[in-house]
Structure 1
Amino acid sequence: MLRLVLVALLAVALSGALSAWLASRASEREAVRRLVGQQTEEVEVMARLLASKIEQSQKVLRTVAEGITPAMLNSPSSLEWLLQQGLPAVQFFDSMQVARQDGDLRVNLHSGRLEDVANLDPAERDALRRTLIGGKPLVSELVAGRSADARVMFTMPLRREEGQVLGVVAGALKLQSQGLLPPSMTLPGRDDSRLIVFTRDGTILSHPDPARILAKVQDEPGLGPVFAQWLQQAQPLAGRGTTTVQPHHIVSMAGMPLPQWLVARVSDSQAMLAPLAGAQRKAWWLAAAVIASAMALLGVFMVWMAQPLAHLCHSALQLANGGSCTRIAWPRATGEVGALVQVFEAQVLRSDRQRQQQAQLEGQFQAILDNASVGIAITRQGVLEVVGRQACQMLGYTPQELQGCPARILYASDDDYARLGARVQADFLAHGAFDGDVCFMRKDGSPVWARVQGRGVQAQDIQGGTVWILEDMTAVREAQQQQSWVAVHDPLTQLYNRDAFTGRMEVLLAERSARARTADPSAAPSPEGEAEGDGVMLFLDLDYFTVINDVAGHDAGDDVLRHVARLLESQVRQIGWAARLGGDEFAVVLPGCSLARGQAVADQLRAAVQAWEPSYQGRSFTLGVSIGLVVLDASLQDVPSVLYVADMACYDAKRAGRNRVETRHARDASVTSSGRMALGPV
C-alpha cells in the first residue's frame, strides 16, 4: 500500500509538471489559433459585407432598368426626366449612363447633372459595349484616376419582353462612397493591425493610411510576400478566408469573385502575443502550488479510499463478466466511490429499461413494415439492412434472403446498378432526395418497374443510410409504352399534355353543364362558387425559371420541370390531376373542390415549390411559382374561357410580386366567344 501511494505521488508530480508544460505550449498555440480564427472570420465577414454591397448596387440598378421602357430610349427628354426626377433609386449612384443597342449614348448623368456624352471615360464605354454584346449584367474593373475620382461601374441590359437586348443602363459609384468603401470601414485603427482591401492585380482600394490608396500591395510589410505567393499558386477568388502565420506577421485574406477584390488583415504577431508571456509565468507558479497541494491530499485520501475502491472494482468486474445484477454486492461508501456505486446501479436499471424499449420499438417497427401498403427498404453503404414485406413480395424474395445482402442483386447488370447510383447521387445533390422510376430484377429474373422515393435517414446525408419507398408501377409502365398514352402525355414531365388537358376539361365542363340543367331550379346558388363540387383550376407559372436555364443550362431546366411535375402529381393525385401546358406553365384541376379548399391546396403547392432549393454546378437557386385560381362555375362554358380567366389571375399574381396565389371569377373578366385571348407566357 505504501509503495502504491509513493508511486501515485510521483506520478502526480510528473504528470502535473508535464501538464503545466503542455498547457503552456497549448495556450500559446490556442492564442495563435484564436487570433487566426478571429482574423479569418473577420476578413470573411468583411468580404461578404462588400459582396452584399455589390449585390445591393446591382439590385438598385435593376430597379432603375425596370423603370426604363423601350419608348424612352428614343425620347431623350423622357429619359432625362425619369433619371433626374422620376426614379429615386438613381440618386444611389454618382453617375449614370443609358445607351441604345446600336451603341448610341442617350444620357450621361453626373451628380444629377447632364454632361456631354463625349466626356465618358473609354473604360466606361468599353463596359457598356461588353454588356450590349454579352447581354449580361457586369461589374467593371476599377476605373482609376486620382484616388478621389476612382470608381466602379455597374451595368444592366435593357430587354424587351421577349428577351431581346435593346439597350444598357449603367451606374457608377466612387470608390470612397458609402455604397462601396467608405473611409470609416477601416476604423477603429490599431497600431498592431491593418485592414486592407485591394484588387486582384494588387491595387489598394482601402487602407488605414489614405496616402496608400491606389498604391501597390506588394509594398505592404507582411502582406506583400503572401500576396506574391498567392499569385504564383493562382488560387481562385473564393469566399472562404485563408490565414498565413509568419515569424512577425499574421496575414488573413478572403476574396470576392465579383468584383475581383480581396480583403486582408495584417497583424503584428509579437505585439499580439506579448500579454501571453506574462500570463504563462504566473501559470507556472500556480501550477507548482496546485501540484504540491494535490500530492498531499492524494496521499491522505488514497489510504482511506483503497478498500472501498477495491470492493467496487471487484463488483464492477462481476458485472462486466455477465454476473447477475441481483447477486452483485455493491460497497456502501460515501464520496466518489459512493457516487460511482450509484452510477453503476442507475446504469443497470437504465440498461434494463433500454432493452425493454428497444424490444418494443423493434416490434412496432416490424409491424409497420409488415402492414405498410407500399414497399419499404433501408440501405446503408450499398447493403440492404431492412426490407419490408411488401417490398419482398414485389421483388419475389423472402426477408431473410434480402436483409444483409448487397443491393446489387436487385439489378440486371453492374452497368444498371452503376447508372442508378449516379442518378441517385445527382438527385441527392440537386434536390436532397430521389424520386424516379427504377427497373428491378425479380428473383425469377423478370423485370419489375417501381416508383422509388429515397430520403436520407439523416437529412441530406446519404452515407448515414437511406429510406426507400417502392410502389409497383409495372402496369403503368406498360401503359406508357402504348401509343395512346404517348399521345396524351408530355414526354418530359409525364403529365397530361395540352391537348389532353383540353379534352378532359371539355368533358368536365360538359358534365357540369348537364348537371346544372337537371338541377333543382329552386335551389339557391352558392355565392362566388363556394359550394362543394364546383371545382377549381390552378394556372401555375414558375418564377425565375429563366435564371436557372441561363446560368445552369437547359439540362438543369428540364430537371427542374420534371421535379416540379413530380411534386404537383404527388400533392394532388388524390383529389385532382395536373398537366403541362407548355414551357414552365402547368395546370392543376381539382374537380369537386370548394374555393376555400382550392386556395389551401394552391398555397400548399406554392410553399412546396418555394421550400425547394435546387442545386446545379455547385450553386443553389431560388424558385417560386405564381398561381392563378379560377372557380369552375356555370358561367364558364368552354376551355378557352377557363384558361383566359386563370391566365389573368396568374398575371395578377405576377404583377403583385410573384410567388403568390390570386383568385378570379368569371365575372372579374370580360370573356366572349369571339374575343378570347390565347394563352401565352406570363
Structure 2
Amino acid sequence: MTPPAHPAPPAHQHDAPQWLAPGSLVLRLMLVAVLAVAAAGVASAWLVSRASGQEAVRRVVSQQTDEVEVVARLLASKIEQSQKVLRTVAATITQDMLDSPAALEWLLQKGLPAVQFFDTLQVARDNGELRLNLRAGRPQKAADLDPAERDVLRRTLVDGKPLVSEFILGGTSEARVVFTMPLHREDGTVLGAVAGALRLQSQGLLPPSMALPARDDSRLMVFTRDGTILSHSDPARVLGKVQDEAGLAPVYARWLAGAQPVAGRGATQMEPEHIVSMAGMPLPQWMVARVTSSRALLAPLQGAQREAWWLSAASMALCMLLAAAAMAWMAQPLAQLTHGARQMLRRSPRPDAAIAWPRARGEVGELVRVFQDLARQGWQEQQRKATLDGQFQAVLDNASVGILITRHGVLEVVGRQACLMLGYTVGELQGRPVRHLYASDAEYERVGRAVRAEFAAHGAFDGDVCFLRKDGSPVWARVQGRDMRLGDVEGGTVWILEDITAAREAQGQQSWDRTHDALTQLYNRAAFDERLGQLLLSDRSNGPLGRGDGVVLFLDLDHFTVVNDIAGHDAGDDVLRHVARLLESQVRQVGWAARLGGDEFAVVLPGCALARGQAVAEQLRAAVAAWEPSYQGRSFILGVSIGLVVLDASLQDVPSVLYAADMACYDAKRAGRNRVVTRHVDRPARAPARPEAAVT
C-alpha cells in the first residue's frame, strides 16, 4: 500500500531569528581565514624586515669595503711618495760627494729641502761605511745608528734594490719605518745607499689626524702582517696585537691559516656580532681593517622594524575582523539552514510541519530544496517502516517456529513462539546475552565451537541444541542459523527453533535405534521398507492407485568419493549428516526421508502429484548444488542425481518401487549427473539387478 500523500511544506518560513551564530564549520573556516591573513601578514612583514636588514647590511658592507680600500690606497700613495722623495735625494748624490763628507753634509742639510721630509737620513758607501747619519737634521755618530736600520742598509747594498723595512720598534714615539734607495755608478754597479726613516705617527706616514674618533660601534685600524697595530681609533691600542681585537681576531686567524697574500682589494666578512672589512698594501705588507658592531649598526633599523611590526599587527587585526565579519554575514543563510534542520529533527516528522527555511540562492538554496525533499521522504519512510514493523511483528507473533535474531552474542529480536518454548516473556529475553539460555559456560562454549565449525564448513548451522527453560528444565530444539546478510557476520544472525524435546525422548527408547540410521538420524533401510510397504498396502486397501497417490525420490550424491578421498572419512560423514538435515528440513511437512546406505537416500511424498513431486525434487537438487562445503582449507562442489517415480498401479511392492526409482537415478547419472529424471512405468515389473555401470 502507498502511504497517503501530504501537502508539501511551505517554501519559506519567517519564524527564524534575524541573526544566528555561525556553526562549527563556518567558525573553522573563519579561523582558517583569520590564520591565513595572520600568516600572510607575518610572512610579508618578516620578508620586508629581512629584506631591509639585508639591504642595510649590504650597504654597510659596500661602504666599509670601499672605505678600507680608499685608506689602503692612501697609505700606499704615502709610501710611494716617500720612496719618490728618497729617490730624488739619491739622484743628487755623486761619487765625489761620498768622498767629501762635508760636501755631502752641506747638500743634505741645506741644498735639498726634501731631506726635511724624513726624521732620520743615512748615507753609506758600497763597502758598508756610514758616511753620514742625520737625525732631525743634525749629524749623529755612526755608532748611534740602530742595528735594524744598519741591517736594512746592508741588504740594499747587497741586493741593489730599494726596500721598505719591516716595522722597527722603539716605543710608540720611536716606532718607525725605513726606506732605502741604492746609489749606482754609470756602469750600473752599486756605489752606495741612502736610507730615510719616518716615525709611525709622522705626517708622512700615519698622522694622528687619520684616526677617527673612537666609537663603540666601529674601529678603524692599520696593522702589520704579524698582527702589530700601527694605527687605531683608540690611540691606547697602538702597538697592541690584533689577536686582542674583538671581531677582528677570528678573521685575522683564518687569514693567516690560509697563508693568503696581502691583496689590494677589500673584502668583508660577517661575524656573529661584527662586520669586518680588510684591505692590504702589498709593498709594506700592511693591512687596513674596519670592524663594526652589527648590533649597534642595526639598532636604529630594529627600532624602525619594531614600529613597522606594530603597524603590521594593527593592520592584520583590522583585516581579520573585517574578514570574520564578512564571512559571518555571508554564512547567515547556512546558519538558518542548520537551524531549520534542527527544527526538522525536533518537531513532528510530518512533511507539512512549519520549519524556518532560509531564503537563499545558490548552494544553500539547493540544500533547502534537498532538506524539504528529505523531510517528505522521511515521513514516507517512517510510514513504510511502521507498516513493515507491524508485518514483521505479526510474523514473529504467528510463526509456528521460534525465531531469534542475535548480534555479538546478544538477543536483539525474540519471537513469541521462542518465548513460549523457553518459558520467558519478550521483555525478559530481548537484550539479554545468549549465554543466559544455556545450563553452563562449558555447554555454551561447546555449542559455540560447533556453530563456528558449521558456519566455516557450510556457511550455515543446522543441528540439535539443548536450552534451559526459565524454570530450569531442559528443552531440545532443532536450530537452523544463517547470516542475515550473506557473508556479513556483523549484520547479525537469524535462528529458527523447532521444539524436538519429544523426538529426543523417543530417541532414548530402543525402537529408535532399530528404525533410524545412527549417522544421519534418518530412517534406515529397514524402516523405509516397512513404512513404504505400509503406505502401498494402505493405498491398495482403499482402492486402485491413482496418479496423485504419491511419489518416491531416489537420490545419489555426485562426486561424494572426491570428498572422502581428499578430506577424509570424517568430512564425508559430515557431508552425509548435512545432506540428511537438508532433506529433512525440505520435506518434513510433506513427507519423510531415509538413508538407504552409503551416499544413497530416498524421499517419500505421500499423496503428492507428479508436478508437485518434480518441484520438490528440483528444490532438493538446487539446495545441494548451491552448497559448497569447505574442509581443510579447500572448497568442494557437490551435486545430486535424483530419480523420480509415481506410486501408481504399475508398482505393487517395495522392490518394484525402489527398482524403478533407482533406474531413474541411473538415467540421471548417465545423462550428466546433477539432474532430476522421471521414470514412467507402464506395466508391473519385478526388480532385477541394478546395472553394473552405475556410478556415483
Distance 2:666 2:354 in 1: 79
**TM-score normalized by the length of structure 1:** 0.52
Query: Partners in 2 of 1:515 and 1:506 — Cα distance?
Result: 14
1:475 Cα deviation after fit: 1.0
| Cα distance change of structure 1 residues 593 and 345 upon mapping to structure 2, 3 Å threshold | closer
> 1:472: which partner in 2?
499
Deviation per CA, 1:159-208, whole angstroms, max 9, x where unpaired? xxxxxxxxxxxxxxxxxxxxxxxxxxxxxxxxxxxxxxxxxxxxxxxxxx
Q: 1:632 aligns with which of 625, 636, 647?
A: 647
Change (3 A) 1:309 1:439: same
Q: Contact between 1:628 and 1:650, CA under 8 Å: does it hold in 2? A: yes
Match of 2:518 among 457, 481, 491: 491
| Matching residue's letter, 1:320 | R
- Paired amino acid for 2:584: E
CA distance in 1, matches of 2:400, 2:462: 18
Alignment-derived partner of residue 567 in structure 1: 582
The alignment partner of 2:451 has SS state of helix
Aligned pair in 2 of structure 1 residues 678, 578: CA closer, same or farther (>3 Å)? farther
CA drift at 1:437: 0.9
Q: Does 1:340 align with 2:367?
A: yes
Asked if 1:550 is matched to 2:565, the reply is yes
> Residue 617 of structure 1 corresponds to which residue in structure 2?
632
Q: SS of the counterpart of 2:542? A: helix
> In structure 2, do the counterparts of structure 1 residues 681 and 498 end up closer, same or farther at CA, with 3 Å as the change threshold?
farther
Asked if 2 retains the 8 angstrom alpha-carbon contact of 1:312 and 1:341, the reply is no
* Shift in alpha-carbon separation, 1:14–1:583, aligned structure 2, 3 A: farther
Q: For 1:666, what is the secondary structure of its paired residue?
A: coil
* Partner residue, 1:584: 599
Secondary structure, counterpart of 1:635 in structure 2: coil
Q: Secondary structure at the match of 2:605?
A: strand
CA distance in 2, matches of 1:344, 1:372: 40
Q: In 2, Cα distance between the equivalents of 1:599 and 1:513?
A: 24
Q: Distance in 1 between matches of 2:581 and 2:411?
A: 26
Q: Among residues 390, 394, 413, which one is paired with 2:440 in the alignment? A: 413
1-structure distance, mates of 2:507, 2:323:
82
Amino acid at match of 1:453: Q
Kept in 1: contact 2:461–2:479 (CA 8 A): yes
Q: Residues 478, 13 of structure 1: CA spacing in aligned structure 2 closer, same or farther, 3 A cutoff?
A: farther
**Whole-angstrom distance in 1 between the partners of 2:461 and 2:370:** 45
Amino acid at match of 1:309: A
Where does residue 423 of structure 2 map in the other structure?
Answer: 396
- Aligned counterpart in structure 2 of residue 309 of structure 1, from 323, 331, 335: 331
Residues 490 and 448 of structure 1: is their aligned pair in 2 closer, same or farther, counting only changes over 3 Å?
Answer: same
Q: 1:657 corresponds to which residue?
A: 672
Q: Is the partner of 2:331 in helix, strand or coil?
A: helix
Q: Quote the offset at 1:308 in angstroms.
A: 5.1
1:73 corresponding residue in structure 2: none
- The percent of aligned pairs where both chains have the same amino acid is 67
2:548 alignment counterpart: 533
1:471 CA drift (Å) = 1.1
- Mapped to 1, the partners of 2:691 and 2:428 lie a distance apart of 58
Deviations 1:619-655 (A, max 9, x none): 1111011112223222322222222222222222112
- 1:310-389 matched pairs, under 5 angstroms: 310-314=332-336, 316-317=338-339, 319-320=341-342, 324=347, 328-389=355-416
Shift of 1:402: 1.0
How far does the alpha carbon of each residue in 1:343-399 deviate from its partner, in whole angstroms, 9 at most, with x for none? 343344444444444444333322222222211111100011111111111111111
Deviation for aligned residue 1:587: 0.8
Q: Distance in 1 between matches of 2:613 and 2:486?
A: 31
- SS of the equivalent of 2:464 reads strand
Following the alignment from structure 2 to structure 1, what is the Cα–Cα distance between the partners of residues 379 and 678?
59
Letter in 2 for 1:422: R
Tell which deviates more after alignment, 624-633 or 305-314: 305-314
Q: 1:550 to 1:11 in 2, by over 3 A?
A: farther
- TM-score calculated relative to the size of structure 2: 0.51
Say whether residues 1:463 and 2:478 are aligned partners: no
Q: How much has 1:439 moved relative to structure 2?
A: 0.3
Deviation at residue 304 of structure 1 after TM alignment = 7.9
- Structure 1 equivalent of residue 508 of structure 2: 481
Q: Which amino acid aligns with 1:435?
A: D
Within the candidate set 447, 468, 476, 2:474 is matched to: 447
Equivalent residue, structure 2, for 1:593? 608
Q: Distance in 2 between matches of 1:414 and 1:403?
A: 20
The CA RMSD measured in Å over matched residues stands at: 3.4
* Aligned positions, number: 385
- C-alpha contact (below 8 Å) 2:341/2:371 kept by paired residues: no
SS at match of 1:392: helix
For CA contacts below 8 A with separation 6 or more, give which structure has more relative contact order: 2
Counterparts of 2:610 and 2:346, CA distance in 1: 69
User: Does the C-alpha gap of structure 1 residues 342 and 302 become closer, same or farther in structure 2, counting only changes over 3 Å?
Assistant: farther
Partner Cα separation in structure 2 for residue 340 and residue 14 of structure 1: 33
Query: Which residue does 1:275 correspond to in 2?
Result: none
Counterpart CA distance in 2 for 1:677 and 1:311 is 86
Q: Contact between 2:336 and 2:357, CA under 8 Å: does it hold in 1?
A: no
CA distance in 2, matches of 1:483, 1:592: 30
Q: Which residue of 2 aligns with 1:648?
A: 663
Distance in 2 (CA, whole Å) between partners of 1:536 and 1:6 is: 80
In 1: Cα distance, 2:630 partner to 2:554 partner: 26
Which consecutive residues of structure 2, in runs of 5 or more, have no partner in the other structure?
Answer: 1-21, 41-321
Contact preservation (8 Å) 2:547, 2:647 = no
- Secondary structure of the 1:538 match is strand
- 1:477, 1:681 → 2: CA distance? 36
Distance across 1 between alignment mates of 2:356 and 2:399: 48
SS in 2 for 1:421: helix
For 1:172, the equivalent position in structure 2 comes to none
Give the whole-Å Cα distance in 1 for the aligned partners of 2:363 and 2:38.
22
C-alpha distance in 2 between matches for 1:637 and 1:656:
28
Counterpart amino acid of residue 357 in structure 2? W
